[in-house]
Amino acid sequence: MGELHFPQCKKCGVGDLVPLSDFGNQGAPIEYKAWVCTNPNCTFNLKIRNGEIFINEPINDGSVHTYRR
């Protein structure tokens, strides 16, 4: 199996764009729902939600998230 290569971020030119997946409202997996830059100083992101594309939405720190039990 070959090595994975991700596209370079066009905004910063330093990081790579990596895909993120999520789960829909009914629990179905959604692959490549978002692409984010690996450079922590960049913050470029592209997200697909309900068939629309959103670019550079604010990034929240997940460490303050309250998880459901």
Instruction: Convert the pLDDT of each residue in 16-62 to its tens digit.
Output: 999 998 888 888 888 888 999 999 999 999 998 888 999 998 877 76
Distances (CA, A) of 4 to 17, 28, 29, 49, 51: 12, 25, 21, 26, 27
Q: Which one has a higher pLDDT value, 28 or 2?
A: 28
Instruction: Inform me whether the pLDDT recorded for 8 exceeds 70.
Output: yes
Closest CA to 38 of 3, 7, 69, 4: 7
First to last CA, the chain: 39
Q: Is residue 24 included in any domain, yes or no?
A: yes
Are the C-beta atoms of 34 and 46 separated by less than 8 Å? yes
What is the per-residue pLDDT for 69?
A: 65
pLDDT at 67: 64
Q: How many residues does the chain have?
A: 69
Report yes or no on 60 lying in a domain: no
Band (pLDDT 50/70/90 cuts) for residue 65 is: low
Answer whether residue 7 is part of any domain: yes
Task: Establish if 46 belongs to a structural domain.
Answer: no
Give me the number of domains the chain comprises: 1
Q: Write out the residue range of the structural domain in which residue 16 sits.
A: 1-37
